Amino acid sequence: MRAFFLITRSVTGRLLGLRRSIGLFVLTGSIAPLLLVLAPGRSSEWMATFYNDITVGLGFSILFPVAALVVSTAALGEERKSHTLPFLLLKPVSRWAISLGVITAAALASFVILGAGVIASWTAAAVVTGDWSIGVSTAVAAAVQSVASAALFVPLGLVVGRAAVAGLGYLLIWEVTLGNVIEGIQASSIYRIVVSAWADLAALTPDNLETVTEVLGRVEVGVGGAVAKAAALAIISVIVTGWLLKHRDLVPE
């Protein structure tokens, strides 16, 4: 347990380096200035609808997953590239503890960075709509996004050299493009898992409902189901990452 906390703390600290945090906050927080720029002369209902639409259409589809992807692939990928993995691996610590610690750290760091963006857009949306509860659903969805992305992209960073590029390809091709046309893969789509959690808690206007239905396809709305799926992904990821740490060659020739 001590090893788990030590690893989680040190990896989280590394992932939340100043340059990366600022850069990704610029990305995840970019919805806030848009809201403030568009607000003058528009009704609070219009702004609430716009906030929800842009959160689903831009935040959950691109901004948040990209930020979480960058953080999560760096969790072990950076260690591999910078040749610091021996410091972590040559310790009397089970590979499962290392795997769990690193994935937890990636989820925590992702949530801090997404959370900063969510708070910025939440504050801006609350100011222009007068509804201070408007961002709760986005914050919960960001937590689901953080866990699911860490589960998927931490092992990817361990085994693929350009994991961020590969992950971006996955997001754009699998999640955004194929997910829209092939119903069978929608249930496993992180984007749709996140939106299903968000939609369960958000106050949706009829326009928003139309957007959400279009995005989710066959996926049911429900925060419980989304949390369960993210947790299942995380458990599978801990097992896969632990296995990789135990059996693969993790330093270059």
Partner 1 sequence: MTGAPRATDARDVSDATVVATDLSKWFGQKVAVSEVNCSFGPGVTGLLGPNGAGKTTLLRVLAGLLSPSAGKAAILGRNPKRHHSVYRHVGFVPEDEAVYNHMSARRFVEWSAALSKVEDAKSAAQRALDTVHLGEDADRALLGFSKGMRQRAKVAAALVHDPQVLILDEPLNGTDPVQRARLIDLFVQLGGEGRTIIVSSHVLAEVDRMATRVVAMVNGRLAAAGSVSALRDAMSDTPRLIRIDTDRPRRLARRLLAGNWVESVRVDPAGIEIRTSDAGALGHDIAVAARETDSVVTAVSAEDDSLESVFRYLVEQR
**Residues found near partner 1 in the complex (CB under 8 A):** 2-3, 6-7, 10, 13-14, 17, 82-95, 246-247, 249-251, 253
Question: Residue 29: enclosing H or E segment and its boundaries?
Answer: none
CB nearer to partner 1: pick between 1 and 181: 1
Please tell me the distance from the alpha carbon of residue 38 to that of residue 42, in angstroms, as a whole number: 7
Q: How far apart are the first and last CA of the chain?
A: 33
Give least dist CB 52 to partner 1, A: 38
CB nearer to partner 1: pick between 105 and 202: 105
Please tell me the distance from the alpha carbon of residue 68 to that of residue 195, in angstroms, as a whole number: 15
Please tell me the distance from the alpha carbon of residue 145 to that of residue 220, in angstroms, as a whole number: 17
Residue 56 burial (CB count, 10 A):
25
Give least dist CB 30 to partner 1, A: 26
The pair of structure tokens assigned to 67 is: 């930020």
Give least dist CB 84 to partner 1, A: 5
Tokens 């009704």: give the residue. 43
CB nearer to partner 1: pick between 68 and 88: 88
Give least dist CB 131 to partner 1, A: 39
Classify residue 222 as left (phi > 0), alpha (psi -120 to 50) or beta.
Answer: left
CB nearer to partner 1: pick between 41 and 92: 92
CB nearer to partner 1: pick between 13 and 161: 13
Give least dist CB 190 to partner 1, A: 28
Residue 26 burial (CB count, 10 A):
11
